Amino acid sequence: MNDHRGFESVIGLEVHAQLLTRSKIFCGCPTAFGATPNSHVCPVCLGHPGALPVLNRAAVEHAVRFGLAIGCRINQRSVFARKNYFYPDLPKGYQISQFDRPLCEHGQLVVDVDGQPRPIGIIRVHLEEDAGKNLHQGSDPSRSYVDYNRAGVPLAEIVSAPDLRSPAEAVAYLRELRAILIYLESCDGNMQEGSFRCDANVSVRPVGQSALGTRTELKNINSFKFVAQALEHEIERQIDVLADGGQVEQETRLWDEEAHRTRPMRGKEESHDYRYFPDPDLLPLVVDDGWLERLRRERPLLPADRRARLQGELGLPAPDVAMLVEDKALGDYFEAALSRCPGNPRAVANWVVNDVQALVKNAVGGAAACPVAPDALGALIGLVDAGVVASAGARQVFFELAAGRASDPAVAARALGVELVDDSAALAAAVDQVIASSGAEVDKYRAGKKQVIGYLVGQVLRRLGGKVDPKQVNELLRRRLDA
Amino acid sequence: MTSLDDLSLTEAAALLERRALTSRELTAACLARAEQRRSLNSVIALLADRAMVEAEDSDRRRAAGAARGPLDGIPLGVKDNILLAGVPATAGSNILRRHVAAYDATAVERLRRAGAVLLAKLNLDEFGMGSSNENSAFGPCRNPWDESRTPGGSSGGAAAAVAAGLCLGCLGTDTGGSIRQPAAFCGVSGLRPTYGRVSRYGVIAFASSLDQVGPLGRSAGDVALLMNAIAGHDPRDSTSAPRPVPDFAAAIGRGVRGLRVGLPREYFELGGCTADVAAAVRDAIAVLEAAGARVSEIALPHTRYAIACYYLIATAEASSNLARYDGVRYGDRVDPGRGLAELYLATRGQGFGAEVKRRILLGTFVLSAGYYDAYYRRAQQVRTLISRDFEQAFAAVDVIAAPIAPTPAFALGEKTADPLTMYLSDIFTISVNLGGVCGMSVPCGLSAGPRPLPIGLQLIGRPFDEESVLAAAGALQEATDWHRRRPPEGGSGRP
């Protein structure tokens, strides 16, 4: 994509992240998703006459923590402004947002596509209130309905610089942004429910040209897959237009996932004059030194910290690192399991990214809700390392734990009968019997066909019902046969 | 004993306290008075049944020895842009004609807590936009001194109701003079507190950075008692000030010995006051001087820009504040069935009156891209200069004395044809709102002629120094009886 028929693409992203506060940004109504329409409303978030906003400081803390995490300058004095426009889902006829004095500015995020780390500028992060939702199905099909439960839910709007050069970079940027928000416990990152939403500004220009081309804005892209597809289609479309000698029109386009293409938004509504001005109902937001210092001190673990640990300190393979970093719950699970079995991070990672991940892939709550406790997995891996169970037996134990039929792996291994025999006499006897009864194979081995050892190991294992470590059998056989 | 209709709040409180009067009697008298003076059109909704229940509650409390203070059992009125749960709050507008308030305004809640009886929602200019009460969807209110004249605005109904004895005090709102000017026109006392002193929660916004709730009463003492109940920080209004609240009533008798009173040169030069107004104001200042005040001239050089500045800031804020009245969630909806845009146009087109539309248009223009810097930002800069004028003046004086309006109450219809002339009548009051100070109107004389009309003196104080203003008002009322004058019975004056 970086060089496409002599063009390069330039992408900037605007992300709206719902912040995980218990109450709305300017009133005490709950923010929970999925409630009965218009059950989480009050005079303030319905824009009743005389109602006034009062800022929820928890929303400010989320935004400041995020700003600090991406290296923003925190403006210790920022201003709420009114963005004026009419729409039924907007109760007051204006949205309380921030305009020329946002809370955070000048941050940066490093994205890594194909091992090439690239810094992406973040112009600003500001606080605003979400709007309600128009519902077009209700008891009367000729009417529209509005649900104001979402009106007033706090949002952080995160605006990137036009630094992204390909759909892959855009997706990598979004993944990292989302991971940071989830690590901070500031946003649940759920794109389907709309708690993490993305609009994209995209333009193309001939490679080597420094001036930006005319951009279009893409809306309604609610999954990483659609972000990539929508950008790819839009870039192709713009290049087609330019290659045909045409001009790209500045407009807002929607991603139509059915038709698999972008199309212009109906009605040219983008010539809005929002008539921003400072909201006289709210004082300037002041984040004093003490407050800022406390938030700085409370800096929680971030994806970059975990990446550094898993990659640098533990030396895990890159695909495992990527998965354990992006999925915070899975990474947390890994760390918890590892603390029980600190000697073998690779084995723990292997179990977590394969078996645990497969188990929780579609579960609500992800790895945090895994039926196999991380502690139990750690203990199980410990049993393998100590030679108590073989890996095939360990897998059986894992499924036993997953099915809820057991909670202690050692107990489960015994119950399943997959504990390895720790009886050298029985092993020696079995080896002797197999050597005695497999004259032809023994001859072949001694004649130099060493690979026949596999057959002999198998015979020994069968006699002992698989409850021995194959490595140990192999070793003992060789000692006898080579003597 | 004076008749019930003539009692001041302070006097009525004393009678209730002595059990020489019940709240039931007092409330019934006010309700009867309201019926008798219907021609004033000061009332939008009379809450007779509720008020009688509240009065009985109050009498029971008092009988049980559990009275809540001087306001317990006192019948009061509330301007109809202040919310009272379960009762329509119309703001004088068709668009809210049937809108029942979902909650009590903080100021109302505090009056209730003090035991007051809330008896009427009072007429006003639509959304507080006007100086004559003629911009009301419920028709103009009339001045009890002369029913052919305006009671002033926008709190015209409140001032008329207090003057005519429909209630013993009222809550009004003042964005550019809307408490003080009608108080002056109707011969009552009215205080516009410092911005932030009284919560705006539950007050239908006109211009949020200028709006302030305040009391109207029959004396400075009445006003102080009402202030004691409503003032103070409210966590539901981010712009309300977290400051301690003094006992305002204690300031009334404090006297003016040594108080430095400033006379703004520009007000006396610019205003074009009538001879009656100039003489009454001069006489009142002489009374204060005789009582020990030290009078000197001061300068408020940016006064000449105040009206222009006000009409940029107030209309800008109003254009945004009134956007919520779209017929979608509450209020009257007019839906021609041709889609959303038509619903908005019809609802707002029919719901708002001409002056409100004029100000929405002005404010929308002021905030538009390309004009913001020239108008809104520049007006904010001028506002800062006006505040600085007051700061400098208050370095040398404690209280500023001035006229409230260049003339006494003008005739209904006299200025409706020319909005600009109407705007200019607010020249003396508007700076107080822009400058973030407090101001009061107290009666200081009557005009000459067969039908005398009240004249008001304006007293302006430092931010949050309502006490000095009340002290000066108290001293004037100690030495004069202008505040005891009542309008002639029967209203008269109608052509």
Instruction: Indicate whether A408 and A441 sit together in one domain.
Output: no
Instruction: Indicate whether B188 and B324 sit together in one domain.
Output: no
Is A1 a domain residue? no
**3-class DSSP string for A317-367:** CHHHHHHHHHCHHHHHHHHHHHHHCCCCHHHHHHHHHHHHHHHHCCCCCHH
Phi and psi at B66, nearest 5°, equal -120, 30
CATH number for the domain that contains residue B224: 3.90.1300.10
Name the domain boundary from B364, B384, B404. Answer: B384
Instruction: Indicate whether B242 and B349 sit together in one domain.
Output: no
Instruction: Indicate whether B279 and B161 sit together in one domain.
Output: yes
Instruction: Indicate whether B131 and B254 sit together in one domain.
Output: yes
Give the integer Cα–Cα distance in Å for A303 and A114.
Answer: 18
Confidence (pLDDT) at B116:
98
Number of domains in chain A: 3
Q: To probe the interface with B, which of A275, A276, A281, A282 has the most B CB atoms within 10 Å? A: A275
pLDDT surpassing 80 at residue B403: yes
Per-residue pLDDT band for B271 (boundaries 50, 70, 90) equals low
**Sequential DSSP letters for B213-281:** EEEEESSHHHHHHHHHHHBS--TT-TTS-------HHHHHTS--TT-EEEEEHHHHHHS---HHHHHHH
pLDDT surpassing 70 at residue A269: no
Give the integer Cα–Cα distance in Å for A21 and A34.
Answer: 16
- Distances B197 to A480, B103, B128, B237, B246 between C-alpha atoms, Å: 99, 21, 19, 11, 11
Confidence (pLDDT) at B426:
87
Please list the residues that pair with B191 across neighbouring strands: B440
Name the domain boundary from A395, A416, A437. Answer: A416
Phi and psi at A120, nearest 5°, equal -115, 125
pLDDT surpassing 50 at residue B494: no
List the domain range (segments joined by +) for residue A189: 7-291
A1 or B434, which is more confident? B434
Instruction: Indicate whether B368 and B428 sit together in one domain.
Output: no
- Within 8 A of A93 by CB-CB distance, chain B residues are 320, 322-324, 326
Per-residue pLDDT band for A270 (boundaries 50, 70, 90) equals low
Mean pLDDT within B415-422: 81
Q: Nearest-CA residue of chain B relative to A147?
A: B329
- Of B23, B42, B154, B468, which is the active-site residue? B154
Phi and psi at A280, nearest 5°, equal -70, -10
Confidence (pLDDT) at A17:
97
pLDDT tens string A52-69? 999 999 999 999 999 999
pLDDT surpassing 60 at residue A268: no
Instruction: Indicate whether A168 and A261 sit together in one domain.
Output: yes
List the one residue out of B228, B251, B262 whose CA is nearest residue B391.
Answer: B262
Exposed e or buried b per residue across B4-37, where buried means at least 16 C-beta atoms within 10 angstroms of its C-beta: bbebbbbbbbebbeeeebbbbbbbbbbbebbeeb
Is A104 a domain residue? yes
Q: Is B330 on the interface with A (CB under 8 A)?
A: yes
- H or E element that contains A472: helix A470-482
Instruction: Indicate whether A350 and A213 sit together in one domain.
Output: no
Instruction: Indicate whether A428 and A465 sit together in one domain.
Output: yes
Give the integer Cα–Cα distance in Å for B285 and B455.
Answer: 13
Name the domain boundary from B357, B384, B411. Answer: B384
Q: What share of residues in chain B are helix, strand, coil (percent, to 5)? A: 45, 15, 40
Give the integer Cα–Cα distance in Å for B115 and B124.
Answer: 25
Per-residue pLDDT band for B492 (boundaries 50, 70, 90) equals very low
Residues 61-80 of B with CB under 8 A from A: none
Instruction: Indicate whether A108 and A231 sit together in one domain.
Output: yes
CB-nearest to B238 from A54, A84, A86 is A54
Number of domains in chain B: 2
Residues 298-317 of B with CB under 8 A from A: 316-317
Instruction: Indicate whether A275 and A332 sit together in one domain.
Output: no
Q: Is B329 on the interface with A (CB under 8 A)?
A: yes
Distance from CA of A278 to the nearest CA of B (A): 10
A:B CB pairs within 8 Å: 97
The two three-digit tokens of residue A25, written as one number = 């940004």
When the pLDDT of each residue in chain B is averaged and rounded to a whole number, the result is: 95
Name the domain boundary from A229, A262, A291. Answer: A291
Confidence (pLDDT) at A470:
80
Instruction: Indicate whether B354 and B394 sit together in one domain.
Output: no
B320 or A388, which is more confident? B320
Give the integer Cα–Cα distance in Å for B300 and B387.
Answer: 10
Mean pLDDT within B364-376: 92
Confidence (pLDDT) at A465:
72
CB-nearest to B368 from A54, A91, A273 is A273
- Distances A113 to A107, A116, A386, B54 between C-alpha atoms, Å: 20, 6, 39, 73
Instruction: Indicate whether B322 and B357 sit together in one domain.
Output: yes
pLDDT tens string A102-154? 999 999 999 988 878 899 999 999 999 999 998 877 777 778 899 999 999 99
Name the domain boundary from A386, A416, A446. Answer: A416
The number of residues making up chain B comes to: 495
Instruction: Indicate whether B377 and B396 sit together in one domain.
Output: no
> Could you tell me whether strands B294-298 and B260-264 are parallel, antiparallel, or unpaired per DSSP bridges?
parallel
- Within 8 A of A272 by CB-CB distance, chain B residues are none
Give the integer Cα–Cα distance in Å for A224 and A236.
Answer: 18
Mean pLDDT within A8-12: 96
A205 or B4, which is more confident? A205
Confidence (pLDDT) at B493:
41
Is A470 a domain residue? yes
Window from A79-83, B477-481, B491-495 with minimum mean pLDDT: B491-495
- H or E element that contains B163: helix B156-164
CB-nearest to B237 from A52, A84, A88 is A52
- Within 8 A of A38 by CB-CB distance, chain B residues are none
Name the domain boundary from B342, B367, B384. Answer: B384
CB contact under 8 Å between B323 and A92, yes or no, is yes
CB B73 within 8 A of CB B169: no
CB contact under 8 Å between A47 and B329, yes or no, is yes
Tell me the one-letter amino acid at B386: I
Instruction: Indicate whether B118 and B14 sit together in one domain.
Output: yes
Per-residue pLDDT band for B394 (boundaries 50, 70, 90) equals very high
pLDDT surpassing 70 at residue A422: no
Q: Nearest-CA residue of chain A relative to B99?
A: A49
Please list the residues that pair with B231 across neighbouring strands: B198
pLDDT surpassing 90 at residue A261: no
Instruction: Indicate whether B234 and B306 sit together in one domain.
Output: no
CB contact under 8 Å between B208 and A51, yes or no, is no
pLDDT surpassing 70 at residue A2: no
CB A74 within 8 A of CB A96: no
- Of B58, B79, B189, B431, which is the active-site residue? B79
Mean pLDDT within B121-144: 97
Confidence (pLDDT) at A368:
86
Give the integer Cα–Cα distance in Å for B230 and B196.
Answer: 12
pLDDT tens string B473-490? 999 999 999 999 999 875
Q: Is B242 on the interface with A (CB under 8 A)?
A: no
Give the integer Cα–Cα distance in Å for B79 and B87.
Answer: 12
pLDDT tens string B67-93? 999 999 999 999 999 999 999 999 999
Confidence (pLDDT) at B495:
34
Is B406 a domain residue? yes
Is B447 a domain residue? yes
Q: For this structure, is B155 an active site residue?
A: no
Q: Is A137 helix (H, G, I), strand (E, B) or coil?
A: coil
The reply to whether omega before B240 is within 30° of 0 (cis) is no
pLDDT surpassing 50 at residue B293: yes
Q: Is B202 on the interface with A (CB under 8 A)?
A: yes
Distance from CA of A408 to the nearest CA of B (A): 54
Is A296 a domain residue? no
Distance from CA of B390 to the nearest CA of A (A): 21
The two three-digit tokens of residue A396, written as one number = 């059986």
pLDDT tens string A427-480? 788 888 888 888 888 888 888 888 888 898 888 888 877 677 788 788 888 888
Give the integer Cα–Cα distance in Å for A134 and B324.
Answer: 17
Order of strands, edge to edge, in the sheet holding B43-46? Answer: B43-46, B117-122, B75-79, B169-173, B213-217, B189-192, B438-446, B454-461, B399-403, B260-264, B294-298
Q: For this structure, is B387 an active site residue?
A: no
Instruction: Indicate whether B162 and B197 sit together in one domain.
Output: yes
Report the share of chain A in percent with pLDDT over 90. 59
Q: Nearest-CA residue of chain A relative to B196?
A: A281
CB-nearest to A277 from B99, B203, B316 is B316
CB A178 within 8 A of CB A148: no
Mean pLDDT within A323-338: 94
Instruction: Indicate whether A321 and A282 sit together in one domain.
Output: no
Is A202 a domain residue? yes
Is B325 a domain residue? yes
Is A298 a domain residue? no
Mean pLDDT within A41-58: 98
Please enumerate in sequence order all residues whose Cβ is within 8 A of that of A92, keeping only pairs 6 or more positions apart, or say none: A47, B323, B324
List the one residue out of B455, B118, B8 whose CA is nearest residue B273.
Answer: B455
Please enumerate in sequence order all residues whose Cβ is within 8 A of that of A270, keeping only pairs 6 or more positions apart, or say none: A217, A251, A252
**Sequential DSSP letters for B10-72:** HHHHHHHHTTSS-HHHHHHHHHHHHHHTGGG--EEEE-HHHHHHHHHHHHHHHHTT---STTT
Give the integer Cα–Cα distance in Å for B157 and B124.
Answer: 6
CB contact under 8 Å between B364 and A43, yes or no, is no
Q: Is B209 on the interface with A (CB under 8 A)?
A: yes
Tell me the HSE value of B70 on the side-chain side, using a 13 A CA sphere. Answer: 20
A296 or A116, which is more confident? A296
A478 or B287, which is more confident? B287
Is B108 a domain residue? yes
List the one residue out of B495, B427, B464, B442 whose CA is nearest residue B177.
Answer: B427
B266 or A284, which is more confident? A284
- Distances A314 to A76, A343, A354 between C-alpha atoms, Å: 39, 10, 18
pLDDT surpassing 70 at residue A267: no
pLDDT surpassing 50 at residue B468: yes
pLDDT tens string B150-172? 999 999 999 999 999 999 999 99
Instruction: Indicate whether B40 and B109 sit together in one domain.
Output: yes
Give the integer Cα–Cα distance in Å for B14 and B274.
Answer: 39
Q: Is B85 on the interface with A (CB under 8 A)?
A: no
Q: Is A440 helix (H, G, I), strand (E, B) or coil?
A: helix
Instruction: Indicate whether A335 and A409 sit together in one domain.
Output: yes
Q: For this structure, is B154 an active site residue?
A: yes
Instruction: Indicate whether A228 and A345 sit together in one domain.
Output: no
Instruction: Indicate whether A195 and A262 sit together in one domain.
Output: yes
Instruction: Indicate whether A431 and A328 sit together in one domain.
Output: no
List the domain range (segments joined by +) for residue B285: 4-298+387-484
Mean pLDDT within A241-266: 86
Is B280 a domain residue? yes
Is B491 a domain residue? no
CATH number for the domain that contains residue A474: 1.10.10.410
- Of B178, B199, B319, B431, which is the active-site residue? B178
Instruction: Indicate whether A279 and A312 sit together in one domain.
Output: no
Is B492 a domain residue? no
Window from A394-398, A410-414, B184-188 with minimum mean pLDDT: A410-414
CB B190 within 8 A of CB B172: yes
Q: Nearest-CA residue of chain A relative to B81?
A: A50
- Within 8 A of A49 by CB-CB distance, chain B residues are 83, 89, 91, 96, 99, 101, 204-205, 324
List the one residue out of A158, A58, A60, A52 whose CA is nearest residue A105.
Answer: A158
